[in-house]
Amino acid sequence: MSDLTPPPSSDDPNRLLLPPHLVEGYEAFLTGRFKQERDHYRHLAEAGQKPRVMLIGCCDSRVSPEVIFDVDHGDIFVVRNVAALVPPYHPNNDLHGTSAALEFGIMGLRIEHIVVMGHARCGGIKNFAHADADPYQRPLSSGDFIGKWMSLIEPAAARLGHARDPLEKYVEDLALESIIQSLINLRTFPWIKNLEERGIIKLHGAYFDIANAVLRVFDPLKERFVAISSAIHAEAFAEPRF
């Protein structure tokens, strides 16, 4: 826009208030799903949310819990942050977004299951591992928030030992171990620990591979992550027969 071009007026319908593809998506939602499920949306608005599952996932735009688990709106209470981490219980005057969401989900919504879901090729985990492999670089140590947040991985990294080759395998191991660390941290919240011991809530760990859609879950008896729904997964990837 040149200096001679006047800014759009406040009543100009073509003003860019949102990215165009979001506006197009909203319009498709209005004429598609919302139109078909209007009564269900009205019920959700009037009855409120009553999800049984709370999922703590990564804010990575490639990993959408609602898509992965094919759930309807209102079915899961989702909290997303960098690398799907859970901090330990530490009440003070700081601002605690994930901890506040946990408190609301457990004490307010009476959630029955908490799922911590990490994923393959996580940028936060990868950068933490690369910084450990090369101590001359600290890509996540600068800035106002990210370096401190990623320090939550340090107990998991300490159990694994320093980064090693092949680094790609170490990154995956660290991602899995960080999920276990988040489950450990969940149990530092007194009300979560109490409810789990009484069998009222259950804690779960999960790991999703973006490239091949393999979902692994933590088996506490085997003390490792195991793939689930393997037969259905194989069927989904089978070559079509003509």
Tens digits of residue pLDDT in 105-128: 999 999 999 999 999 999 889 888
Residue stretches of the annotated binding site: 58, 60, 119, 122
In the chain, CATH 3.40.1050.10 covers: 51-237
Where does the pLDDT of residue 171 fall: very low under 50, low under 70, confident under 90, or very high at 90 and above?
very high
Predicted TM-score (pTM) above 0.75 = yes
CATH number at 51-237: 3.40.1050.10
Q: Report the 10 Å Cβ neighbour count for 125.
A: 30
Whether residue 140 has pLDDT greater than 80 = no
Residue stretches of the annotated binding site for Zn(2+): 58, 60, 119, 122
Please report, for residues 125, 150, 207, 230, the alpha-carbon distance to residue 122 in angstroms, rounded to integers and kept in the order given.
Answer: 5, 12, 11, 23
